[in-house]
Amino acid sequence: MRVKVISRSTDEFTRERSQDLQRVFRNFDPNLRPQEKAVEYVRALNAAKLEKIFARPFVGAMDGHIDAVSCMAKNPNHLKGVFSGSMDGDVRLWDLATRRTVRQFPGHQGAVRGLTVSTDGRILVSCGTDCTLRLWKVPGDTLLESDDGSGNSSQPLAVYVWKNAFWGVDHQWDGDLFATAGAQVDIWNHNRSQPVNSFEWGNDTVTSVRFNPGELNLLATSASDRSINIYDLRMSTPARKVIMRTKTNSIAWNPMEPMNFTAANDDGKCYSYDVRKLNEAKCVHKDHVSSVMDIDYSPTGREFVTGSYDRTVRIFQYNGGHSREIYHTKRMQRVFCVKFSCDASYIISGSDDTNLRLWKAKASEQLGVVLPRERKKHEYLEAVKNRYKHLAEVKRIVRHRHLPKPIYKATKQIREMTESERRRAGRRKAHSAPGSIQNEPLRTSRIIKEIE
Among 9-18, 79-88, 183-192, where is mean pLDDT lowest?
Answer: 9-18
Q: Is the pLDDT of residue 237 over 90?
A: no
Average pLDDT for 289-294:
95
> Is there a single domain that holds both residue 375 and residue 328?
no
**Banded model confidence at residue 285, pLDDT cuts 50, 70, 90:** very high
Cα gap 105→173, rounded to integer Å: 23
211 in a structural domain: yes
Q: Which of 366, 387, 415 is the last residue of a domain?
A: 366
> Is there a single domain that holds both residue 107 and residue 172?
yes
Q: Residue 155's Cα: distance from chain center in Å?
A: 31
> Is there a single domain that holds both residue 206 and residue 317?
yes
Beta strand segments in 302-384, E = 303-308, 313-317, 323-327, 335-340, 346-351, 355-360
> Is there a single domain that holds both residue 138 and residue 234?
yes
- pLDDT at site 152: 38
- Encode pLDDT of 63-109 as tens digits: 999 999 999 999 988 888 999 999 999 999 999 999 999 999 998 89
Q: Residue 382 belongs to what domain range?
A: 36-55+367-400
Query: Angle at CA 299, nearest 5°, toward 116 and 216?
Result: 55
More confident call, 315 vs 150:
315
Q: What is the chain's length? A: 452
Q: Is the pLDDT of residue 146 over 80?
A: no
Query: How many domains is the chain partitioned into structurally?
Result: 2
Instruction: Assign 373 to helix, strand or coil.
Output: helix
> Is there a single domain that holds both residue 385 and residue 260?
no
> Is there a single domain that holds both residue 355 and residue 386?
no
**Banded model confidence at residue 148, pLDDT cuts 50, 70, 90:** very low
Give CA separation, 369 vs 110, 282, 381, 451, in Å. 43, 39, 19, 53
> Is there a single domain that holds both residue 93 and residue 190?
yes
Global pTM exceeds 0.85? yes
- pLDDT at site 137: 92
- pLDDT at site 143: 54
166 in a structural domain: yes
We report the CATH number of the domain holding residue 349 as 2.130.10.10
Average pLDDT for 422-430:
92
Instruction: Assign 113 to helix, strand or coil.
Output: strand
